[in-house]
């Protein structure tokens, strides 16, 4: 509260910049964790009414993906099948992996399971998870007397 009446100084801005940079490179920062614990790696987007989860799953057929939501847990599982190749084919390079996967993500809220939507486009899975009405924070009006 006192800060507001002070003139912003260059040092203050420098401090803020330093904090921002520290946050960016903080290995414990929750925002950027490029070591995913399991497949698929997900990005989580939030707004007031819920979350949007995106995952890159190239080569997985949409029919092979199963998404289950129970309460506040989302689970993505499925299988990636290898390409069928003829017997006389010889591999030069094999970097892509195949097999089944399963992952459960704990959400910070209860999901309205009837309104969950998922789409799969260009190998990117997008799941929209709306927050259950009952779980939303209630606004409390402040009355003046």
Partner 1 sequence: MARNDPSMEVQKQEDVPAGEMERTHARRCFVPKSDIYETEEEIIVLADIPGASDKTVDISLEKNVLTIDAFIEPVRANGYDLAYAEYDEGDYQRVFRLSDEIDRDRIEASVSGGVLRLCLPKAAAAKARKIAIKTK
| Binding positions for partner 1, rule: CB under 8 A | 30-47, 51-52, 54, 56-62, 80, 83, 85-86, 88-99, 101, 120, 122-124, 126
Task: For residue 19, give the H/E element and its range.
Answer: helix 10-25
What span, in angstroms and rounded, lies between the C-alpha atoms of 8 and 12?
Answer: 7
Q: Which is nearer to partner 1, 2 or 89 (CB)?
A: 89
Question: Cβ of residue 144: shortest distance to partner 1, in angstroms?
Answer: 32
Please identify, using beta-carbon distances, which residue of 58 and 71 lies nearer to partner 1. Answer: 58
Q: How far is the CB of 143 from partner 1 (least distance, A)?
A: 31
Least Å from the CB of residue 15 to partner 1: 24
Q: Say how far apart CA 43 and CA 58 lie, in whole Å.
A: 15
Contact 125, 55 (CB under 8 A): yes
Looking at the Cβ atoms of 8 and 99, the one nearer to partner 1 is: 99
Supply the minimum distance, in Å, between the C-beta of residue 5 and partner 1: 31
Which DSSP symbol is given to 38?
Answer: S
- First CA to last CA distance, the chain: 27
* Backbone region of residue 25 per phi and psi (left: phi > 0; alpha: psi in -120 to 50; beta: other values): alpha
Q: Is 81 left (phi over 0), alpha (psi -120 to 50) or beta?
A: beta
Name which of 9 and 83 has its Cβ closer to partner 1. 83
């Amino acid at each position: 509260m006192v800060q507001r009446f002070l003139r912003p100084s260059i040092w203050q801005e420098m401090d803020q910049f330093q904090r921002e940079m520290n946050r960016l490179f903080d290995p414990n920062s929750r925002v950027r964790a490029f070591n995913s614990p399991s497949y698929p790696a997900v990005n989580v987007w939030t707004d007031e009414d819920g979350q949007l989860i995106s995952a890159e799953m190239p080569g997985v057929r949409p029919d092979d993906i199963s998404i289950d939501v129970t309460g506040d847990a989302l689970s993505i599982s499925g299988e990636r099948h290898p390409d069928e190749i003829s017997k006389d084919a010889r591999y030069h390079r094999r970097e892509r992996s195949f097999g089944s996967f399963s992952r459960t993500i704990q959400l910070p809220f209860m999901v309205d399971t009837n309104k969950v939507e998922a789409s799969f486009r260009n190998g990117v899975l997008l799941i929209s998870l709306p927050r259950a009405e009952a779980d939303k924070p209630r606004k409390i009006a402040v009355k003046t007397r």
